Structure 1
Amino acid sequence: MSMIEGLPFPVAFGILFVIVMLRANATYWLGRGAETGAERTRLAKMLASPKFRRAQDVVARWGAPIVTVSFLTVGVQTLINLAAGVARMPLRRYLPAVTLGSIIWALLYATVGFVTLAAWLKLYALSPIATIAGTALLLAALAGFIWWQLRHRSAARGTATVSR
């Protein structure tokens, strides 16, 4: 990423777009071919995971728009593209959705992503200890929020199960 950082915006955007298009489409095609031979691979475990099942449900319900929106997330876009491949989403729907998502992703990384990294590096140069402590605090807050969400969600499921 550091070699892309100093490039003019159109070049950086173009490189990032190509990278994400290749990765997303490779994941889609992996999903298209996965069901036939997945029982004997490590991929079978991922295809049977609850996260992947939820991604499949989301793709089945929302279709191509969810492929585009998934590029605004971290970690979910891979599962969504894989689920779209496993579901054999038609290319006439998948390609426009993945292209738009890739444009959005490249635009975000070429602008906000690099600005955030540059700001973090500048802060680190001024005060490494404060920057690391601040980053650790933000990560701890994020982890706490995720933990709270998961706990709240499982408590809600437990209540729903009990009331049946």
Structure 2
Amino acid sequence: MFDAVDQILEWLTTQSPVLVALVILLYVALEGLLLVGVIVPGDLSLIIAGTTVDSVAEGPLVVAGGLGGVAISAFSGHWIGSHFGPRVRASRVGRWVGEPKWKQAEEVLQGSGWLISLTYFVPGLNALTPVLAGILGMPRRRFGFWAMLGGAIWVVGYVTIGALAGEAARQNEGLIMPIAAGVAVVAATIGFVMKKVVNRR
């Protein structure tokens, strides 16, 4: 298993930063457009992308890809919600998501702007807010501002965590699994704390 993880990490670091940035842009964009993030949260994709960063110059490129994905997800998701309305929520995918999650996202959107920003750190919830913001008729500029603010902190934070973990793993190959476990614990803890904050609103 150690060898397999090491090979995956080595393969990732050999890929072009431009390719990594494009892949992360596409995934983060689809997260809110097709509700992909409800199944596989974007946190993991950002951390993995971060592990490929092995120079100062590559970091901003990967971050830019993530920010581009956030912008596409936020504004396109809002457009879909405002034009197709409740049909999205009532669709097969919407029913699969479950009414409790839609209700939670709706309560967040009716709260302060900071809650919208914090949803990026709650796995699955940030995938629902763009479409639901459009359905509820929230002004695009207001939603976009808070979504981009939270998305920027989210992208920079998780890419940085991934970059630090990737560098530590390259310097200490025998500690790859403990480092991966540590990153998983950190990400889970952040998600848990943010979920508690959002639920308390």
TM-score between both structures, scaled by the size of structure 1: 0.62
2:115 is matched with 66
- Does the CA contact (< 8 Å) of 2:169 and 2:175 recur in 1? no
Instruction: Indicate yes or no: 2:75 matched with 1:25.
Output: yes
Over the aligned positions, Cα root-mean-square deviation in angstroms equals 3.3
The alignment of Structure 1 onto Structure 2 pairs a total of residues equal to: 136
- Does the CA contact (< 8 Å) of 1:38 and 1:44 recur in 2? yes
Q: 1:34 and 1:120 mapped to 2: Cα distance?
A: 46
Deviation at 1:32, TM superposition (A): 2.3
Deviation at 1:96, TM superposition (A): 1.2
Q: 2:109 and 2:147 mapped to 1: Cα distance?
A: 13
Q: Which has the higher contact order (CA 8 A, sep 6+)?
A: 2
Residue identity matched to 1:126: G
1:49 is matched with 99
- Does the CA contact (< 8 Å) of 2:101 and 2:125 recur in 1? no
1:107 is matched with 156
- Cα gap change, 1:83 to 1:36, in 2 (>3 Å): closer
1:126 is matched with 174
- Cα gap change, 1:26 to 1:44, in 2 (>3 Å): same
Percent of aligned positions with the same letter in both sequences? 19
- Does the CA contact (< 8 Å) of 1:30 and 1:82 recur in 2? yes
- Does the CA contact (< 8 Å) of 2:81 and 2:131 recur in 1? yes
- Does the CA contact (< 8 Å) of 1:29 and 1:85 recur in 2? yes
Name stretches of at least 5 consecutive residues in structure 2 with no aligned partner. Answer: 1-11, 21-52, 193-201
Deviations 1:105-153 (A, max 9, x none): 2211331232234445666x3156xx27x83xx77xx7xxx8xxxxxxx
Choose 1 or 2 for highest CA Rg. Answer: 1
2:31 is matched with none
TM-score between both structures, scaled by the size of structure 2: 0.53
Deviation at 1:48, TM superposition (A): 5.3
The 5 A counterparts of 1:86-97 are 86-97=135-146
Deviation at 1:94, TM superposition (A): 1.1
Instruction: Indicate yes or no: 2:124 matched with 1:75.
Output: yes
Instruction: Indicate yes or no: 2:92 matched with 1:35.
Output: no
Instruction: Indicate yes or no: 2:128 matched with 1:84.
Output: no
